[in-house]
Chains A and B, each alone.
Chain A
Amino acid sequence: MEELGKKAMAGDMRAASRLIRNIEDNIPDTHKAIKHIFPHTGRAHVVGLTGAPGAGKSTITDELLMAIRKKNKTVGVLAVDPTSPFTGGALLGDRIRMLRHAEDPGVFIRSLATRGAMGGLSKAVGDGIHVLDVMGKDVIIVETVGVGQQEVDIINHAHTVIVVLVPGMGDDVQAIKAGLMEIADIFVINKADRDGAKKLYKETKNMIGMGKWTNGWEPPVLMIESVMEPHSFARSVAELNEKIEAHYQHLVDKNILADRAHRKVVTELNDALKAAILDPVLKKLMQDGEMEGMIAKLKTKETDPYSLAEAVALKYMKDI
């Protein structure tokens, strides 16, 4: 496994691809490769793109790749799509919109399915970013699943968060609600040639005006019009790329990049702790068939989930 990590660090695309697959599949010992690469991470600029389903995240990502490549930077993309809660299957379609970069060696695109993770991302995103980072990608774009109001996990991984809005999604109260509207570093109003775009622009601006921006960055609002007008679309996205770079520069200048890194390591530590503590216990419970016994007891209301969990905790954790 360390071998895979080393190869990925040398920029071997196949090894990186294999490694991400192993992370996704939770293959034992994969963390050894992560241990190997972890000290070398933290170089890339991670950009998160989030927004409602069909808002245009993939299309903007595609054009953004063009803009970034024009500046001779290399890019990695992690595009997340939802897993079916019923069958566990997934149809990963973000790639379709980015195939014109298929033969560009400076672009690595990887689709991930959520596999039951909440929050708009896949569990593999955190480590996937590390892999792309040590591959030497300058910019890493993480595209979330189409989100609602609460799927904001992207802030734990990205330096710059872009929220893509489209006209016609609700009244002005939507704009001042908690959640998605709070996390943006840059707002994009996509499909701005449609009715209601100006209204949405005003509402978003109002919302921003009401907020307190303690670190000195007030989120800009960009209007991007129809992809059917390729030239103006490309211009708007190039402008978006300028803003992304400006935001990163801001983070560096004000020395607040560390805050973002803080959120990321806290999340990673939490996840790693859960995996190290919870997974072995769950595995044991399933092997012994204890899990089924507990489920049966719950169904007949013989006991409650909290008593069961306490009993399990007492059994396995000696010091608490």
Chain B
Amino acid sequence: MTWLESVGIWLALSGTGCISRPRGLNKGGWPLSRKIKVLLAKAGLDPHDKGIKLVARKLREIGGMEVFYTGLYRSVDEIVEAALQERPDIVGLSVHTGMQMSLFPELRYKLNEKGAAAICLIGGGVIPPRDVQVLKEQGCVAEVFGPNQSVEEAIDWIKTRPWLA
């Protein structure tokens, strides 16, 4: 059994994120000021941040979301810690280094381990479709957006998640 498969089994047992949680029941139009919060992250020695900065800006400008960006060269532990302290709805990890098969499982595993299974994990960057399929099957990511997709598609995807309603 590979490391990835074992994580997959662990995730299958512990829940794969994106669970709707008992918060913000909007009873009768109470003036909620809820915002969708997204933490965008770059991990390891990956220096390609042009895309993620564009995504950050568009999520803020077009999506009206609150966006955190971790900056470059973060370790998975640092991203997990930032996620625990900021409590976003979604963590978006951008990968341009071919490290997707270790970074996504590790990040998902550590988030779940620290009790943040409710935080949804999405991916971006250059990730081959076959890897996307495996990662999705193992429950490591909810969705992956590639270079041929517009940021608007990602915004639509986020806004149509039932667990954010």
Contact = CB atoms under 8 A, between A and B. Distances in A.
Interface of A: 13-14, 17-18, 20-22, 24-28, 83-84, 87-93, 95-96, 99, 102-103, 108-111, 113, 115, 279, 282-283, 286-287
Query: Interface residues of B toward A: which range?
Result: 35 or more
B84 A91 contact: no
A276 to B, nearest CB: 13
A200 to B, nearest CB: 30
If over half of A's interface residues share one DSSP class (helix, strand or loop), that class is named, otherwise mixed; here it is mixed
B78 A102 contact: yes
Interface string B35-46: 101000000000
Contact of A17 (B28, B63, B87): B87
A21 B66 CA distance: 12
Contacts of B35: 24-25, 88-90, 113, 115
A108 B68 CA distance: 16
B82 A102 contact: yes
Kindly list the 4 A-B residue pairs having the minimum CB-CB distance in the complex, ordered from nearest: A89-B60, A25-B34, A96-B71, A87-B64
B33 interface: yes
A95 B68 contact: yes
Contacts of A287: 28-29
Interface of B: 23-25, 27-35, 37, 56-57, 59-71, 74, 77-78, 81-82, 84-87, 114-116
A99 B150 CA distance: 30
Contacts of B71: 96, 99
Contacts of B77: 102-103
Contacts of B70: 95-96, 99
Contact of B82 (A18, A25, A95, A282): A95
12 contacts: A17-B86, A18-B87, A27-B23, A83-B66, A84-B64, A87-B60, A88-B35, A89-B64, A90-B65, A95-B68, A113-B35, A283-B28
Nearest to A116: B33
A109 B66 contact: no
Given A26-B34, A88-B35, A103-B77, A93 B69 contact: yes
A36 to B, nearest CB: 18
B67 A27 contact: no
Contacts of B63: 87, 89
